[in-house]
Amino acid sequence: MEIAKTLARELNKDETAVGNVIALLDEGNTVPFIARYRKEMHGSMDDQTIRLLADRLQYLRNLEARKAEVEAAIGSQGKLTDELRGQIAAAETLAAVEDLYRPYKQKRRTRATVAREKGLEPLAELLFAQTPGCPSPLAAAEAYVDPEKGIENAAEALAGASDIIAENISDDAVIRGGMRGYWLSCGSIVSSAAKKAEDSVYRNYYAFSAAVGKIAGHQVLAINRGEKEGFLKVGVETERENALELIFRRVLKKPACASSEFVKSAAADAYDRLIAPSVEREIRALLTERANEGAIGQFALNLRPLLMQPPVKGFVTMGLDPGYRMGCKVAVVDGTGKVLATDVVYPTYGERQKRECIEKLKTHIKKYAVRHIAIGNGTASRETEAMTVELIKELGKDAGVSYMIVNEAGASVYSASPLAAKEFPEFDVNLRSAVSIARRLQDPLAELVKIDPKSIGVGQYQHDMPEKRLSEALDGVVEDCVNAVGVDVNTASAPLLARVAGLNAGTAENVVRYREENGSFTSRRQLLKVPKLGAKAYEQCAGFLRVPESADVLDHTGVHPESYAAAKKLLALCGYTTEDVGKGNLGHLMERLHAYGEEKAASACGVGLPTLFDVAKELKSPGRDPRDELPAPVLRTDVLEIKDLKPGMELKGTVRNVIDFGAFVDIGVHQDGLVHISEISDRFIRHPSEVLSVGDVVTVWVKDVDEKKGRISLTMKKRILPDASF
C-alpha cells in the first residue's frame, strides 16, 4: 500500500503535500509547528487536518505491520499462496486482514478440532465437495466408524463432519465480509427493559428499535450505558432466512447432489452457532467505536470554542464559588489574576446572613474596585446569582459592576490537585476554587489548561469513552488553542507553557525555574539557556512564545526567528523599519506589499507566499490575540427566574454545550434551555455543530416552559408563537 497516495485520496489533498507532512511528522515536528510554519510544504493544511492525517497514518502503518505479521504466520505453516498474499496486500481494513487470517489462526479447542483429531476431515471434504454422483452422507460416514477413536456409529461421524464444515464456512473470509455487510445494511438494534415496571432515565429505550445504519451515536451510548447498569437488554436482529440464503449461494453447488442438504444444514448451524453471535459482537463493537469517535469529535469541537472564549482582560474580578453547607467562597483577583483577598460568606443561611454577605461583598468591591463578578454554575448558584443581582442594584449603575455565570466544571478537581496546592499553598481547597472561577472569566484558556480536559463538561458520555483516545483528542485541541493564541513566556504558568509546541511538563518547569532564578526573559534566544531545552525544542516553540520585554520587537510577535531576516527585508521593501512595528505605524503595509507585488516580494524575502502573508499579518498587528475578534461574553446586571419566562419571549443567550440532538443555552436563568436540533435552523442540518459552537452568543425565543420539571424549550426560528409578546 502506498500510504501517501491513500491518505491523499482520503483527505482530497495533493500527494506531494501529504508526503511532506509525513516526512515532517517522522522528523519529530509538532502539529502546531507544521501547520503554522511549514505551509509551503503542505499547501496550508490546518492543524485539525494534519491531526487527522497523523491519526490515519498511524492506522495505516499498523495495518501494514499487521499484514506482515499475518503473512509471516501463514507462511510459517507453509500455506501462503500467491492468491492469499495478494488478498492480504489488497485488504484495506484490519477487519479484512483478520478475516483472511481466521482459517489459519491458532484456535482454542473446538468441536471441529475434536472432529479433526478423530480423522473426520476427509469425510467433511468429501461431503462439502458435493460432486455429482457422490454417496449419501450416511453411506459415506459408515467408512469412518471407529470405536477406538470415539466414533461409535455413522451419526457420530456425520456430526463431526458437520462441525468441521460449519467451522470452515464460519472462517470463510468472503462469507464473513458478506455477513458483516448484510447486518450493517439490514440489521436493527433492539432494546427492552431488563427490569419490570421500573422508571429510569432509560425509559425511552424500553421498547426501542433502530436500523443499524441509521442509529444515532448518542442512542448507541445511552443503550450501552443502560445495558451496563442493568436497565436494558440489547441485541442486534436481522432476517435469518435472508442471511442463510446469502450463505447458501456461496456454499451450495448446482446441480444438487446427495450431500447438498447435509451441507445446507451445516451452513445453518455455522450461521446460528458461530457466525451470527460473532457478527453481532462485531456490529455492537463497531457501532460503539463509531459512537465513541463521534462523541470524542463533538467533545473536541465543543472544547475548542470554550478554550477560545474571549478573555475579559485587565479588570479586577471577584470569583464566587457557591455552596450551601460550606458557604459561598469568595476570591478577589487583580487584572493579572493575582489574589488580592479571600472570604467566605453565607447568603443561603437566612435573610440576616444574606445581608451580612452583601455588606461584606460591597466592602471588597469598593476597596479593590471590582468591575466583574464570576459565579460558578454549581450547587446554590441560583441563590448566589439572586444575591449578586441584589448587590449590584444596591451599588447602583455608577459602580459599573456586572456578573457572569461561569462553567465551573473541573474547578474542584483543580483545587484539590498538587498543582493548585503548589500555586496556592496558603489557601484551603475551597478558596482555590473561587480563585479559579474568577480567573476563568479573565482568561479562560490560561485557567482551563490546568485541568484535565476530560473534566470540562462540554461533551456527552465522556466518562464512557476510551480514556487514551479521548485524552489524545482533547490534548490536541488544547495544544492547538494555546499555540494559536501564543504565550507570554514571562507570565505563563508551567501548565500553560507545557502545552506550547516542543515543550513538555519538564521543560516548562525549567522555563519557570530559569526566570525565577534569572529574572524575566529579554529575548527569544535566551530560551536556549534553559536546561534541557535544545535546538529542536527551540525550533518548535520559539514562534509561539512571546517576549514583551525584548528589545527586538519581532520577539513580541508570532514571526518565527527563522523568518526574522525575511520580516526585516519585507519592512524595507515597503518603506518601514522595526521601529514602525513597535509604534503600530504599519497601517498601509498590505497596500504597499500589493503595489510592490506579492510574488516578487516573496522571492526577494526568500520565503513562500503563505509565510510572507503570515509575516505581514503579524507585523501589522504584533501580539494579536485571535480571541479578541470573537463576540464578547454576555455580562449581566439582573436575573430572570424560570417563572418569568413566557412562550414567545425573546432572549440573548450563550451556548454552553452542543450535543447530537441540540444545544443547551444559558439565558440568564439558573436552568439552561434546550434548543432541539429541529429548532436550530429553517434549513435541514445533520448536526447542531453545523450552526452552533460553544460560546456563541445567540438570540432565542422561549417555546415552552415546564416549571415543575425545570425544563425550558427554546427555538432559534423567529416566528410568532401562539401567545407571543415581543
Give the HSE-up count for residue 137: Cα atoms under 13 Å, Cβ half-sphere.
25
CATH of the domain at 88: 1.10.10.650
Q: How far, in Å, CA of 375 to CA of 318, rounded?
A: 8
* Residues sharing a CB contact under 8 Å with residue 231, sequence separation 6 or more, in sequence order: 193, 194, 195, 198, 200, 202
User: Is 434 part of any domain?
Assistant: yes
Residue 396: inside a domain: yes
Q: Are 660 and 585 in contact (CB under 8 A)?
A: no
Last residue of some domain: 55, 88, 104? Answer: 104
In a domain, residue 598? The reply is no
pLDDT at 640: 66
Q: Per-residue pLDDT for 724 more than 50?
A: no
Q: From CA 113, how far away is CA 167, in angstroms rounded? A: 9
Does some domain include residue 488? no
Place of cell 503563505: 610
Q: Indicate the number of domains in the chain.
A: 3
- Give the distance, in angstroms, between the CA of residue 523 and the centroid of all CA atoms in the same chain: 36
- Residue 457 is predicted with a pLDDT of 63
Secondary structure letter of residue 642 according to DSSP: G
Write the pLDDT tens digit of every residue in 336-368.
889 999 999 999 898 999 999 999 999 999 999
Bridge partners for 655 per DSSP: 665
SS3 711: strand
Element spanning 358, H or E: helix 351-368
CATH number at residue 445: 3.30.420.140
In a domain, 489, yes or no: no
User: How many CB atoms within 10 Å of residue 484?
Assistant: 20
**Cell numbers placing 60:** 495505516
pLDDT tens figures, 187-217: 999 999 998 767 788 989 999 999 999 999 9
Asked if the model's pLDDT at residue 720 lies above 50, the reply is no
Q: Residue 43: pLDDT band by 50, 70, 90 thresholds?
A: confident
d(CA 293, CA 473): 10
Task: Select from 89, 104, 119 the last residue of a domain.
Answer: 104
- Do the domain assignments include residue 303? no
| φ, ψ at 569 (rounded to 5°) | -65, -45
The x, y and z cell numbers of residue 359, run together, are 455588606
Q: Which backbone phi and psi does 697 adopt, to 5 degrees?
A: -95, 120
| Cα 263 to the center of its chain, rounded Å | 49
Could you tell me how far CA 640 lies from the centroid of its own chain? 34
Which range among 17-31, 213-227, 626-640 shows the weakest confidence by mean pLDDT? Answer: 626-640
For residue 109, count CB atoms less than 10 angstroms from its CB and return exposed for 0-12, middle for 13-18, buried for 19 or more: exposed
Check pLDDT > 70 for residue 568.
Answer: yes
Determine the residue type at 15. Answer: E
Structural domain range at position 96: 3-104
Residue whose C-alpha is closest to residue 311's, from 186, 118, 442: 442
In a domain, 412, yes or no: yes
Residues 164/267, Cβ–Cβ less than 8 Å = no
- Report the distance separating Cα 215 and Cα 422, nearest Å: 47
Query: Going by DSSP bridges, is the β-strand pair 711-715/662-666 parallel, antiparallel, or unpaired?
Result: unpaired
Q: Answer whether residue 492 is part of any domain.
A: no
| pLDDT tens sequence across 657-690 | 888 889 998 887 767 889 999 999 888 888 888 8
- C-alpha 337/C-alpha 438 separation (Å) is 8
What CATH number does the domain containing 689 carry?
2.40.50.140
Query: In this predicted structure, what is the pLDDT of residue 459?
Result: 61
The letter for the amino acid at 362 is K
Over the stretch 72-91, which tens digit does the pLDDT of each residue have?
999 999 999 999 999 999 99
User: What was the pLDDT predicted at 497?
Assistant: 95
Mean pLDDT value across the chain:
90
pLDDT in the model for residue 268: 96
Tell me the one-letter amino acid at 580.
Answer: D
> For 486, which DSSP code?
-
Rounded to 10 degrees, what is the CA torsion of 51, 53, 59, 64? -150
